[in-house]
Amino acid sequence: MDKNELKYIQSFAQKKHWIQESVYLIEGPKLLEEALKSNIEIKKIYATRDWLGSNDIGDIEFEEVDDIMLPRLSQLQTANQVLALVYKKEITSADYSKQLTLVLDGIQDPGNLGTIIRTADWFGIHHIIVSEDTASVYNPKVIQSTMGSCFRVRVQVVNIEQVIAQHKLPIIGTLLSGNSIYEQVIPVNGFLVIGNESKGIRPGIQSLITHPVSIPKFGKAESLNAAVATGIVLSKWKMQ
């Protein structure tokens, strides 16, 4: 591996590279296993001899790296056998009328976003639209915390207020003043809005909500994590 290729891979630690480039970085056996099972296009794999010897990668370009080079390429605290550059998929708008679409309004924490994507995948949500100030799905921390769900769930950056306003569909939003999630019927199709971790859903979008819901508190915790709240609402939606 020459110095230019090494520097290029290391550059994915910087936001401008995982925003601008046509590829992004994934790391570890679990993510590579999920990528190989999906229809994602892999540009190149960098892996140890042991990993390459026990995995079928077909005709994908690869380079064997040793235990000295792997940590230099990796962004993990402990490098884990394999990493790869994969191509971003072009995300097109969905038919919102035939599904429940998750709407993320300003989710800032990469771990939260990754967990929400993974939770959406668990409950069969295929499309998420996010505001421009939401953390990037290509942030390595987001990719890592999805555990492979990023290959199955489409995440699209849009003007979320404009999109949900122009579709005459139910809009579910998590608000402190909403009806109890245990008493509210959640529409099968429409939009489910999850707000910023500290500020909640911004006022312009709150005014569009047709089905405000809340998660009753039984203990003394000050608040719920955004990803946990998402899971509770989606669980209620599936139970119906």
- Position 16 confidence tier, pLDDT thresholds 50, 70, 90: confident
Per-chain mean pLDDT for the chain: 93
pLDDT at 30: 95
Percent of the chain scoring above 70 in pLDDT: 100
Percent of the chain scoring above 90 in pLDDT: 81
- CATH superfamily of domain region 3-87: Ribosomal protein L30/S12 (3.30.1330.30)
- Position 15 confidence tier, pLDDT thresholds 50, 70, 90: confident
Position 18 pLDDT exceeds 90: no
Describe the strand order of the beta sheet including 127-130 as a list of residue ranges.
Answer: 154-157, 127-130, 100-105, 190-195, 171-180, 211-214
Q: Which helix (H) or strand (E) holds 118?
A: helix 110-122
pLDDT at 39: 84
The domain spans of the chain are 3-87, 96-239
**Domain 96-239, CATH number (from 3.40.50.180, 3.40.1280.10, 3.40.50.300, 2.40.110.10):** 3.40.1280.10
CB neighbours of residue 113 within 10 Å: 28
Cα distance between residue 222 and residue 182, in whole Å: 20
pLDDT in tens, 167-208: 989 999 999 889 999 998 899 999 999 999 889 999 999 999
Position 41 pLDDT exceeds 80: yes
